[in-house]
Structure 1
Amino acid sequence: MGDSGYRSVTNHPTVVRLYRFVVVGASAALVQSAVLWLLVELGGLNYLVAATIAIELTIILQFVANNAWTFQHASYSDRSDYLVGLLRTNVVRGSAIPIQLALLWAFVNWAGLVYLLANGFAIFISGLYRYYLDSRWTWQIA
């Protein structure tokens, strides 16, 4: 594949959106991991309770970033639409919380990983599910 073929693939809207979604998600994963660590190590919370709180915080942060950058061409701009989009992403991502927590638990208890590393794997796997549903339902991209 020549240079023009590579550019046509890398500039394809789906590839650009997926790249941006991954960048936003990776940034949010760092924030989520930091909040998780703070709540467990300094706050004394159980890692699953702390993960739930950290996840909800990053759901909101990711919606703001994805609405402004990843899905900017389909972004919600007026207040009522913005709230509808935030509600939709909460449903999508909220449905992913049990998946992520189950994976986190399994990686810690069955694979013996430390909770922060396990959380990273759980974020990645549940992220595939979240991208598919967010792009199709939250921002209604076919």
Structure 2
Amino acid sequence: MTFNRYIAFRMITELIGAAACITQVYYNNNLNGIIITGVIALVWILGEIWTVIVFNRANPRTDELSDMHQYSAYRFAMLTLVIALTIIGFAGMLYTLVTRVPIEVGPMVLPSLAMLALAIADARYLWLEHDGTSGGDDED
């Protein structure tokens, strides 16, 4: 199993975790929502454990280009998360000013965005490792 495949599997499990958080945003106060979220979260937890145990990536590769790509990917994800939070906050403020109705953001929105940011970081890393659109590949 290559490191890039490990990152791809990790990205998929992070997307499942984000789906669990988003499900709880929409089904916040009823038993069905908690059950659905619990099932999705269980799949996410099992996926994370399976990815770590089966692929055993205790010592990922550490060449300079890969490290630079990981740094760039996480910086990109952090910037994306900050932009998303700014847009949500600004839109909520404008909505409140126009309608005079306060807006509430559910407590699971932030964990949902954080899980999506992790998945975005992994996707960006894989894109950088494959040289974007030029078709190159930096695989071991």
Answer 1 or 2: which has greater helix percent.
1
TM-score by length of 1: 0.35
Query: Which structure's CA Rg is the greater one?
Result: 2
Larger RCO (CA under 8 A, 6+ residues apart):
2
TM-score by length of 2: 0.35
